[in-house]
Structure 1
Amino acid sequence: MQLNSIKPADGAKHAKRRVGRGIGSGLGKTAGRGHKGQKSRAGGYHKVGFEGGQMPLQRRLPKRGFKSQQLRFNAEVTLTDLEQLGLGEVDLLALKQAGLVGEMIKAVKVIQTGNITKAVKLNGVRASAGAKAAIEAVGGSVA
């Protein structure tokens, strides 16, 4: 094989469509744009989703649903989760290592769901009023 004999495989390359270059090309005169109308004219087109003046689909459909961006970085942990964790001191890193909250979480709040019997000290973790009362009732603390 010589460098000067290398060529692309058959059918790999094909000529670009040349529009508006005479009747023999098959794309002369109107150059595949048809006759008249907005789409036949230079610079004449419309935005994505335009339906000729009809109310567009994205405006006809009802608006529903909302996902708060705060949910992405904030998490909740229950008293039952703390009980099962079995640690004396709980902070954000301990909750991440235990798999109770995701790696992207920046703030955690303990909510009063379930019961707690062991004393737990919370560091850098918020707690609802009911959860705080339950934790302090068994000898724990919320810092």
Structure 2
Amino acid sequence: MELNGIKPAAGAKHAKRRVGRGIGSGLGKTAGRGHKGQKSRAGGFHKVGFEGGQMPLQRRLPKRGFKSQSLKFNAEVTLAALDKLGLGEVDVLALKQAGLVGQLAKVVKVVKSGELTRAVKLTGVGATAGAKAAIEAAGGSVA
């Protein structure tokens, strides 16, 4: 290889489009802009979404819904899942290791769904009123 033989990769370089340079170039006269209208003029532009004064689509449609960004840090665990887990003491870390809640979860709450047959002690985990009653009835506690 010699310095005078170095070339860019095939297709890496291409000629800039020279508009308005005569009929033979294929881009003479109107220079690829077509005839008349706002887009043919120098400085002729409009905002994205502008529909010529007609009410734009994003304003014609109704506003709807909201998704809280804090939802990804909250998680729920059922009584049935706690029963299947089979641990005496349950905290957020144990639930994450068992795969019952996501790794991002910070606030975990036990909901009353299913049955609990064993005594479970909750630490750092919340519970709904019904779930708390069911845990205490099974001999467990909520801290």
TM-score of Structure 1 vs Structure 2, range by shorter chain: 0.7 to 0.9
Give the count of matched residue pairs: 143
Q: CA deviation at 1:69?
A: 2.2
* Structure-1 residue corresponding to 2:50: 50
Aligned partners of 2:9 and 2:135: how far apart in 1? 75
1:52-91 alignment, distance < 5 Å: 52-91=52-91
Distance 1:29 1:67, change over 3 A: same
Q: Which moved more, 1:17-26 or 1:60-69?
A: 60-69
How far is the alpha carbon of 1:10 from its aligned partner? 5.9
Counterparts of 1:1-143 in structure 2, within 5 Å, are: 1-8=1-8, 12-143=12-143
Report the secondary structure of 1:44's partner residue.
coil
Q: How far has the Cα of 1:24 moved from its partner?
A: 3.7
Q: Helix, strand or coil: the match of 1:75?
A: strand
Amino acid across the alignment from 1:116: L
Partner secondary structure for residue 82 of structure 2:
helix
Q: 1:39-72 CA deviation, whole Å, 9 max, x = no partner?
A: 1222221222223233333334444443332321
Identity of aligned residues (%): 83
What CA deviation, in whole Å up to 9, does each residue of 1:25-49 have, x standing for no partner? Answer: 3323332222322112222212222
Q: Distance in 1 between matches of 2:109 and 2:129?
A: 11
C-alpha separation in 2, matches of 1:12 and 1:119:
70
Structure 2: give runs of 5+ residues left out of the alignment: none
Note the C-alpha offset of 1:7: 2.8
Quote the Cα distance in structure 2 between the aligned partners of 1:87 and 1:12.
63
CA apart distance, 1:8: 4.1
SS in 2 for 1:104: coil
Give the TM-score of the pair, scaled to structure 2. 0.85
CA-based RMSD of the aligned residues comes to 2.1
Q: Give the C-alpha shift of residue 102 in structure 1.
A: 0.7
CA distance in 2, matches of 1:61, 1:76: 34
